[in-house]
Amino acid sequence: MANRLPIDDSMAPDGACEWRRSPGGLVSALHPLLRHTPATWVGWAGGTGPAPRLPDIDGVRMHSVSLTAEDLRDHYEGFANGTLWPLYHDAVEQPVYHRRWWEAYQRVNQRFAEAAAAVAEPGGLVWVQDYHLQLVPGLLRALRPDLRIGFFLHVPFPPPELFMQLPRRAELLRGMLGADLIGFQRAQAAHNFAQLVVKVLDLPATDRRIGVDDRVVRVGAYPVSIDTAEMAALAGRPDVTARARRLRHDLGDPQQVILSVDRMDYTKGIEQRLKAYSELLASGDVKVRDTVLVQVAVPSRERVGQYQILRDRVEREVGRINGEFGRVGEPAIHYLNQPFDRAELAALYRVADVMAVTPLRDGMNLVAKEYVAARVDDTGALLLSEFAGAAAELEQAYLVNPHDLEGLKQSLLTALRAGPEDVGDRMRAMRAHLHRHDIRAWARSYLSALDQAGSLVTRLGSTG
Ligand code: ADP
Ligand code: G6P
């Protein structure tokens, strides 16, 4: 179960409602995994009002949970994306605390827990995903002690000095501890969690196991991934290859294409990247005729004030840069604020000589992994933020600190000027890593650990 179902409803040109995969890392990871698996996805279909009855999608049963307009405002836009999201991402924007938001978070978590309790088979397994639903493991365990319960956090888990700001920190930790296994992206996050459990709840805890009542809760790092083979197959398809060629032509057949693909989110470092690019244009290190930047920024959380402000600022800056450096028929930046289907994204990845993925903080960043998987001819330079979870695995990327403007400019130039041999060696190594560590490997390692955790009848006292 996850806050979001893997679908986005959109109007077809004839007015009929059609479904497409919703953008975002969680859905990109889990959708290919569950496809054709006998499972039910419990989540929210977007919008407000009664939960729609949905058809199975790719063999997965969809069980939708409703949100009222108030829940949407106070749970999804409020506590989840106004409090937890900024707090968990280094507070790069100021987290906001409202008591009403917390009440909505509890209420919606209770509704999700009840929905899962109603559909899970006796002795079944429920895998709860992400920061919107941190109370669900505890609530669900109270309703259905027969279930095996996993929890996985897709976003970073912050260090104690940040988490301690949360007015309801103890309840959130206790909620997560209802799970048999709590998974994080990075070992550092598991460490932060264990420290907090000791400090706030005074429970016996290591980075791997925590004693709660008469149970042992396992904790671990399981870096999420993508369906590498699927992306590689898509990127290698003749129609996608032809589309990539066409895109390059439409971009004016430049010597080099730089691509960025993000949700329009302040954690993604879009403004810093634009600033670096603009300074490189101003200094003449990058020339519009030779190089183009394609910035895809898909709309996200559009009713949240911080996201509206970001979009305005990004669009103003793109306009300024194009006004100052562009020429007739040759904009400096191609800016696309739209969702694309997977084939179009794959074609964009194929066209990009340099992929700039420079978030200020990111749990993983699957765009970076998708780019690597799509580079089937082992070309292409990945410029990757040290603050993305993916940097721990894609060590051969051109790593950069996006807070350091000069460093960002230099690294972008390094990636643009790198020789084919260096680029090829790095890309080959990263592709080999992703073929071994794909989404199925992630699920296998998490689920086998959950299996062991659930069958543990030992108590902390006897397991050490
Ligand atoms: P986050 O989890 O913060 O959204 P990730 O990089 O992990 O960031 O995942 C983003 C996902 O959304 C990727 O799978 C990417 O392909 C998808 N995505 C990004 N932009 C678009 C877009 N314009 N249209 C459709 N999907 C997109
Ligand atoms: C990140 C979160 C997901 C979320 C996604 C898209 O990947 O970890 O839980 O689904 O962003 O955000 P949205 O608010 O549209 O669901």
Mean pLDDT by 10 residues, the chain (464 residues): 84 57 86 85 91 85 95 98 98 97 98 98 97 98 98 98 97 98 98 98 96 96 97 98 98 98 98 98 97 97 96 98 96 97 97 98 98 98 98 98 98 98 98 97 95 57 32
| CB-CB contact of 249 with 285 (8 Å) | no
Return the ligand 1 atom nearest residue 267 CA. Answer: 3
- Interval between CA 319 and ligand 1 midpoint (Å): 24
- Interval between CA 364 and ligand 2 midpoint (Å): 12
CA distance 147 to 130: 19
Return the ligand 2 atom nearest residue 300 CA. Answer: 15
Q: Which residue, among 166, 176, 210, has the nearest Cα to 191 in the 3D structure?
A: 210
CA distance 444 to 224: 11
| Residue whose CA is at the smallest distance from ligand 2 atom 5 | 24
Q: Is 339 in the pocket of ligand 1 (CB under 6 A)?
A: yes
Q: Is 28 in the pocket of ligand 2 (CB under 6 A)?
A: no
- Checking DSSP bridges between strand 291-298 and strand 215-221, what pairing results, if any? unpaired
Q: Which residue, among 134, 216, 145, 224, has the nearest Cα to 181 in the 3D structure?
A: 216
Q: Is 130 in the pocket of ligand 2 (CB under 6 A)?
A: yes
b/e 239-271 (16+ beta carbons within 10 angstroms → b): ebbebbeebbeeeeebebbbbbbbbbbbbbbbe
CA distance 373 to 234: 10
CA distance 362 to 354: 20
Where do the domains of the chain lie, and which CATH numbers do they carry?
A: 25-224+440-459 (3.40.50.2000), 228-436 (3.40.50.2000)
- Interval between CA 455 and ligand 1 midpoint (Å): 36
Q: What pLDDT shows up at residue 464? A: 29
Q: Which residue, among 355, 347, 173, 333, has the nearest Cα to 259 in the 3D structure?
A: 355
- Interval between CA 15 and ligand 2 midpoint (Å): 27
CA distance 410 to 421: 20
Structure tokens at 295: 């910035």
Q: Is 389 in the pocket of ligand 2 (CB under 6 A)?
A: no
Pocket test for ligand 2, best of 88, 154, 264, 304 (most atoms within 8 A of CB): 154
Q: Is 384 in the pocket of ligand 2 (CB under 6 A)?
A: no
- Interval between CA 251 and ligand 2 midpoint (Å): 30
- Residue 452: CB atoms within 10 Å: 12
Q: Which residue, among 276, 423, 457, 438, has the nearest Cα to 370 in the 3D structure?
A: 438
Q: What pLDDT shows up at residue 38? A: 84
Pocket test for ligand 1, best of 130, 153, 261, 364 (most atoms within 8 A of CB): 261
SS3 20: strand
Which-ligand-closest: CA of 31?
1
- Interval between CA 25 and ligand 2 midpoint (Å): 6
Q: Is 28 in the pocket of ligand 1 (CB under 6 A)?
A: yes
Q: What pLDDT shows up at residue 223? A: 98
In sequence order, what DSSP letters do the residues of 325-361 get, joined into one string? H-BTTB-SEEEE-S---HHHHHHHHHH-SEEEE--SS
362 flagged as catalytic: yes
CA distance 65 to 139: 16
Q: What pLDDT shows up at residue 14? A: 58
| Phi, psi angles (nearest 5°) of residue 298 | -75, 135
Specify the DSSP class assigned to residue 185.
Answer: S
Determine which helix (DSSP H) or strand (DSSP E) holds 215, and give its type and residue range: strand 215-221
Which-ligand-closest: CA of 365?
1
Q: What pLDDT shows up at residue 456? A: 46
**Which residue is catalytic, options 227, 265, 353, 362?**
362
Q: What pLDDT shows up at residue 448? A: 94
Beta bridge partner(s), residue 148: 125
Structure tokens at 351: 């066209």
